């Protein structure tokens, strides 16, 4: 289980994330939604070690990883994809995945791991294509494959469905369910609300860096504050403005 406790991130005077606590159990898909600029990617960076929190702690299966370097977190079982694609363009798709393959504690060779994941993702035909030639929708799958190659306990997916067409998103939904069924935890940041509602068992909602709601998809759908954050209502706007 991934646990985030009281994480705050300040950039100068701006509080990008304010005292956020959440948890993501393994074997399920946990959603993290919120309007643009809510602090979702910043929180992802803190969890994966690409950014340091001003305060708070992050732990994976009870091990405090707050101060750990990103690659060590990856070796402990935490991996992610990126909203702005970060594939290694000169390498082929198979090489991208093989490079991330876990080497210790497994008999599987990196290229076997890549072949297995490519088949699982349904993009075996792209194996020898250079990564910078892969269209965005499928590139998201390659990033997912690369994240899975590290044999993670938990993967963080940052807007994995953006740039995918409806068919691809449907395919993606199936993949997420399978990944969770294999016992891997998924923390999903996504703007495609039907996708989030369809696959997540728990959803957390961030707004202006603060956690404003958590619950099952059904609870979130009915939550006044969530509706306000996305659509804005006069009533909630005034309380927001009144808050210090």
Partner 1 sequence: MDTFLSLTVSGLATAAIYAVAASGLVLTYTTTGTFNFAHGAIGMISAFLYWQLRFDWGWPTPVALVAVLLVAGPLFGMGLERVVMRRLEGTSEITRLVVTIALLLGLLGLSVFIWDPGVGRPMRNFFAGNVVEVGGIRIPWHQFVALAVAAAVAVGLRILLYRTRSGVAMRASVDNRTLAALNGARPERSAMLAWAIGCSLAALSGILIAPTLTLSAIPLTLLIINAYGAAVFGRLKSLPMTFVGALVLGLLNDYAIGYLTELPDDLEPYFRGFVAAIPAILLFVVLLVMPASRLGGVTRSREISVKPGWGGSLGLAAAVVIGTAMITPLLRTSDLVSIGRVWGLAIIGVSMVPLIGLCGQLSLCQLTFAAWGAIAYAHLQWDNPLALGWAALVAGAVGALVALPALRLKGIYVALATAAFAVLCDRWLFQFPPFSIGSHEFDLFQNGTLEVVRPRLPGVDFSGPKAYFLFASIVFALALLAVVAVRRSTFGERLIAIKEGPAAVATCGIDVNAAKVAVFALSAAIAGVGGAVLSGAEPANNSTFDFVAGLPVLMVMVIGGVASVGSAIATGIFLGSPLMSRIFPGFERWQNILVGFSGVGLGKNPNGFTADLRRPSTLVKRDPVVLVGMLVALLALWGMRTAELFTNGPYVVASLAVLLAAPIVAGRRAATAAPVTEAEETREAVDAARLAGAVDGRLSAPPELLGLTAPFQDTDVAVLDEVIDLVEIHDGGRGDRVRI
Within positions 22 to 51, which residues make up the interface with partner 1, using CB under 8 A? 48-51
Give min distance, CB of 85 to partner 1, in A: 8
Question: How many degrees, rounded to 5, is the angle at CA 19 between CA 15 and CA 21?
Answer: 135
Q: Are 40 and 206 in contact (CB under 8 A)?
A: yes
Within positions 88 to 147, which residues make up the interface with partner 1, using CB under 8 A? 88-91, 95, 99-100, 102, 110, 129-130, 132-133, 135, 143, 146-147
Q: How far apart are CA 68 and CA 57, in angstroms?
A: 11
Give min distance, CB of 3 to partner 1, in A: 19
Nearer to partner 1, 155 or 161 (CB): 155
Number of residues that bind partner 1 (CB under 8 A): 36
DSSP 31-74: EEE-STTSSHHHHHHHHHTSS--SEEEEEETTEE-TT--HHHHH
Nearer to partner 1, 133 or 216 (CB): 133
Q: How far apart are CA 187 and CA 177, in angstroms?
A: 12
Task: Give every strand in the sheet of 55-60, ordered side by side.
Answer: 14-24, 2-11, 55-60, 63-64
98, 137, 157 from 116: Cα distances, Å: 10, 20, 20
Give min distance, CB of 227 to partner 1, in A: 31
State which of residues 10, 18, 57, 75 lies at the interface with partner 1 (CB under 8 A): 75
Q: Are 205 and 174 in contact (CB under 8 A)?
A: no
Q: Which residues, listed in sequence order, are joined to residue 154 by a DSSP beta bridge?
A: 78, 185
What is the contact mask toward partner 1 in residues 149 to 168, using x (rule: CB under 8 A)?
Answer: xx------------------
Nearer to partner 1, 186 or 220 (CB): 186
Residues across the chain: 244
Q: Interface with partner 1 includes 80 (CB under 8 A)?
A: yes
State which of residues 24, 82, 161, 207 lies at the interface with partner 1 (CB under 8 A): 82
Segment interacting with partner 1, rule: CB under 8 A, options 20-28, 57-65, 71-79, 231-239: 71-79
Q: 14 — phi, psi (to 5°)?
A: -90, 130
Q: Which residues contact partner 1 (rule: CB under 8 A)? A: 48-51, 69-71, 73-75, 78-80, 82, 84, 86-91, 95, 99-100, 102, 110, 129-130, 132-133, 135, 143, 146-147, 149-150
């Amino acid at each position: 289980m991934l646990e985030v406790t009281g994480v705050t991130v300040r950039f100068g005077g701006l509080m990008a994330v304010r005292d956020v606590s959440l948890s993501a159990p393994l074997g399920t898909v946990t959603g993290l939604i919120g309007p643009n600029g809510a602090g979702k990617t910043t929180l992802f960076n803190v969890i994966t070690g690409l950014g340091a929190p001003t305060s708070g702690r992050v732990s994976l299966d009870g091990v405090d990883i707050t101060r750990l370097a990103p690659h060590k977190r990856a070796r402990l079982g935490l991996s992610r994809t990126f909203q702005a694609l970060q594939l290694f363009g000169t390498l082929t798709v198979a090489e991208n995945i093989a490079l991330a393959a876990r080497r210790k504690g497994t008999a599987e060779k990196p290229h076997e791991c890549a072949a297995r994941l490519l088949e699982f993702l349904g993009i075996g035909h792209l194996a020898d294509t250079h990564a910078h030639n892969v269209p965005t929708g499928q590139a998201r799958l390659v990033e997912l494959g690369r994240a899975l190659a590290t044999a993670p306990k938990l993967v963080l997916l940052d807007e994995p469905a953006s740039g995918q067409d409806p068919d691809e998103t449907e395919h993606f939904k199936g993949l997420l369910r399978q990944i969770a069924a294999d016992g891997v935890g998924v923390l999903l940041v996504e703007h495609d609300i039907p996708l989030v509602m369809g696959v997540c068992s728990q959803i957390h909602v961030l707004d202006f860096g603060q956690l404003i709601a958590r619950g099952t998809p059904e609870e979130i759908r009915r939550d006044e504050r969530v509706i306000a954050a996305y659509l804005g209502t006069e009533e909630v706007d005034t309380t927001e403005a009144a808050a210090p």
